[in-house]
Amino acid sequence: MFAKTIVRTVAVLSLVTTMVIAPQAAGATGLADASGSVVVRTLQGALQGVSSNGVDSFLGVRYAAAPVGPLRWQPPQPVPAWSGVKSATAYGNRCPALVSTNGPLSTSEDCLFVNVQRPTGTKLTMRLPVYVFIHGGGLVNGSSNQADGSKFVRETNAIVVTLNYRLGIFGFLALPSLAKTVGNGNFGLLDQQAALRWVQRNIIAFGGNPSRVTIGGESAGAWSVCAHLVSPLSRGLFSQAMMQSGSCFSRPLSESQANGRAYAASVGCREAGNLVGCLRSKPVRTLLDKSAAFRPSLTSGTTLLPTSTQSAVEQGHFAHVPLVVGSNRDEGRTFSQGAIGQKKADYLKFLETTFGAKAATVLSHYPWPSKSDRFTVAYLEGAIITDAGLAARIGGCTQLALTNTFARYTTVYAYEFDARNGPGLTPIPGYVWGAGHAAELAYLSPAFDNGTPIAPTFNSGERQLSRNLIKYWGTFAFNGRPNALGQARWFTYNATHRIMSLRVAGQSTLISAAAYSTEHQCGFWNSMA
């Protein structure tokens, strides 16, 4: 019923969502010399990083060979061993992506890198927990170098790993001629699995514990986390998981293949038996320039995802590990900013286009106010997008439904990010972003920058929320329970049907699922299903 709006808002995801807890320089399991450099020996060879301000950082570490030439649209291949010591003091290339608010144009396919940060002084025997973060960006952009994770490392004493994975047409192309390739439609997901295997094999060398690996992700990164929960090829690669503002969103193979064929035709590749060969002959920039209409998605009906991620979760066919799942109170305000300046007629057209014959019913629940301004349409559409979960089932009532589904099978801690008056991702004079999509990222990684630095504008209450979030996330990484000394006690959703409302100035508190449902009008939206 709401397909047109879903497509539109999923496209917007690519413009606003990427998080990473990524590093500054590099570190080691050995001693730092006078210059601050440190050396760690992985299975492939030795790496030299840098120790700074209590954090050892190893950046731009290859976990797979460059997927170029005949390796384009093939599973990631191993990295050959090397002799000597390789520098790991700078981020590797971003994966190819069009220009967006998530970073500059990138055209280098040599981009499969991980970054590792750990507390300075970590010893091999410490076996610290590992937090692996998967960035968002709608599967079309973003990178592991968007933010610095040193504050997270310092305040939690955990090891942080971030990674790049193939994006857009390079990471999520599906074609009939790729049917025998394991990654058909999911090459980016296959990259993530390769990075997780790299962690399993090498994190001990950094003082980490391969048996205590938490995978987390935001937006498209959270779609990926759900896929790892479901995929049989991800079993044993992590022990717990976190999903920030995501869903179990995937698309059938037939739809992804149709999308792939349409894209191939757009770049002049139409010969059925040679689509892949033709596409491999095209330069990166040509493929990127033609990809604006390509809508990547995780693809089900494949080796990696035998069934849709949503149906697999509903049937309990996923890894039953401890989970933190949640979303932001005003997810849709990030997606509805394009409606700023629109009039009542535009709002009514949105309702009619999205809901058809039920437009009047939706209007009765989200009425036009007696007083309006240039932001009214954006706020109304934002509320509807949030509550109905129109952006790929992210937020609102679809989040509550997903939480209830997970809780039938495994331990779940639920949250709603509820800092509604903080700075927006991009400054729009007069527009209140609320707790919009991706608003929590700067609180978890204060150097997060989606075009405009956010954390430098925090007031004291917002800075306290940042500390609180990092402690909650860190304690979950350590023991599978997001409880930190001196902070509001966070009980499982299973036992209490309560959701942690994450608020500024130490005011976080548990709210009931019933209160959350009322807040987002879930009774109404459930009746619309």
**Per-residue confidence (pLDDT) for residue 449, from 0 to 100:** 61
Report whether 276 contacts 177 (CB < 8 A). Answer: yes
pTM score of the predicted model:
0.93
Task: Measure the CA angle with vertex 82, ends 79 and 87; round to 5°.
Answer: 95
Answer yes or no: do 25 and 130 share one domain.
Answer: yes
Contact 397, 517 (CB under 8 A): yes
| Domain membership flag for residue 310 | no
Q: Per residue in 394-445, pLDDT tens?
A: 999 999 999 999 999 999 999 999 999 877 777 789 999 999 999 999 999 8
| Run of H or E residues at 504 | none
pLDDT value of position 99: 73
Question: Is the CA virtual torsion 111, 19, 393, 331 positive or negative?
Answer: negative
Number of domains in the chain: 2
Q: Are residues 138 and 285 in the same domain?
A: yes
Spell out the residues 6+ positions from residue 388 whose beta carbon is closer than 8 angstroms to its own.
Answer: 2, 396, 397, 398, 525, 528
Three-class secondary structure of residue 85 per DSSP: strand
- Mean per-residue pLDDT over the chain, rounded: 91
Query: Torsion angle of alpha carbons 389, 393, 397, 400, nearest 10°?
Result: -150
- CA torsion sign for 138, 139, 144, 150 is positive
Average pLDDT over residues 348-366: 98
The answer to whether residues 91 and 160 touch, using CB atoms and an 8 Å cutoff, is no
Q: Is 100 a catalytic residue?
A: no
Residue at 7 is within a domain: no
Determine, yes or no, domain membership for 235: no
One domain, residues 289 and 335? no
Q: Do residue 364 and residue 277 come from a single domain? A: no
Please give the residue range of the domain that contains residue 116: 18-218+251-296
Percent of the chain with pLDDT over 90: 85
201 pLDDT higher than 70: yes
183 and 81 together in one domain: yes
Nearest residue to 414 via CA among 332, 342, 356, 500: 500
Residues 272 and 421 in one domain: no
Does residue 120 lie in a domain region?
A: yes
Please provide residue 102's backbone torsions phi and psi, each rounded to the nearest 5 degrees.
-95, 10
| Pair 473, 482: CB distance under 8 Å | yes
Question: In this structure, what token pair is assigned to residue 182?
Answer: 């394991």
Average pLDDT over residues 60-83: 97
Each residue's pLDDT tens digit, 11-38: 445 544 433 333 333 333 444 444 578 9
Do 355 and 262 share a domain, yes or no?
no
Q: Is 45 exposed, middle or buried (0-12, 13-18, 19+ CB in 10 A)?
A: middle
Q: Which two tokens stand for residue 255?
A: 């739809």
pLDDT band at 66 (very low <50, low <70, confident <90, very high): very high
**290 & 373 share domain:** no
User: Which of 185, 241, 153 is closest to 470 using CA atoms?
Assistant: 153
Q: 437 catalytic, yes or no?
A: yes
Q: Which of 373, 367, 375 is nearest to 337 (CA)?
A: 375
3-state secondary structure of 250: coil
According to the model, what pLDDT value does residue 29 have?
42
pLDDT of residue 135: 94
228 is catalytic: no
- Among all chains, which residue has been given the structure tokens 């808002």? 9
Same domain, yes or no, for 495 and 423? yes
User: What is the model's pLDDT at position 425?
Assistant: 75
Work out whether strand 37-41 and strand 46-52 pair parallel, antiparallel, or are unpaired: antiparallel
Round to whole Å and give the CA distance between 218 and 20.
9
Burial class (CB in 10 A: 0-12, 13-18, 19+), 524: middle
**232-254 pLDDT per residue, tens:** 999 999 999 999 999 999 999 99
User: Given pLDDT bands bounded at 50, 70 and 90, which one contains residue 79?
Assistant: very high
Contacts of residue 141, defined as CB under 8 A and 6 or more positions apart, other chains included, come to 14, 18, 97, 98, 100, 102, 103, 167, 168
- Residue 100's pLDDT is 64
Alpha carbon separation from 362 to 139, 347, 400, 436 (Å, rounded): 31, 11, 20, 22
Could you tell me what percent of the chain has a pLDDT over 70?
A: 91
Catalytic residue, from 331, 381, 416, 462: name it: 331
Using left for φ > 0, alpha for ψ between -120 and 50, and beta otherwise, residue 392 falls in: left
Residue 359, in any domain of the structure:
yes
- Of the pLDDT bands very low, low, confident and very high (cuts 50, 70, 90), residue 8 is very low
In CATH, what number is assigned to the domain containing residue 510? 3.40.50.1820
The answer to whether position 246 is within a domain reads no
Q: Which of 437, 462, 466, 520 is flagged as catalytic?
A: 437
Query: What does the alpha-carbon distance between residue 255 and residue 271 come to, in Å, rounded to a whole number?
Result: 19
Together in a domain, 354 and 292: no
What's the confidence (pLDDT) of residue 427?
79
Domain boundary among 276, 296, 316: 296
My answer on whether 281 and 374 are in the same domain is no
Look at strands 55-62 and 37-41 and give their pairing: unpaired
Q: Residue 18: what pLDDT?
A: 38
Give yes or no: residues 266 and 379 share one domain. Answer: no
Distance CA 344, CA 325 (A): 36
Pairing of strands 299-300, 251-252: parallel
| 499 within 8 A of 415, measured Cβ to Cβ | yes
Instruction: Give the integer Cα–Cα distance in Å for 437 and 123.
Output: 38
Count of positions (residues) in the chain? 529
* Structural domain contains residue 291: yes
Rg over alpha carbons for the chain, rounded to the nearest Å, is 22
Helix (H) or strand (E) holding 209: strand 208-218
Q: Is the dihedral of CA 141, 217, 8, 73 positive or negative?
A: positive
Which listed residue (144, 219, 239, 466) is catalytic?
Answer: 219
- Residue 87: the pLDDT is 97
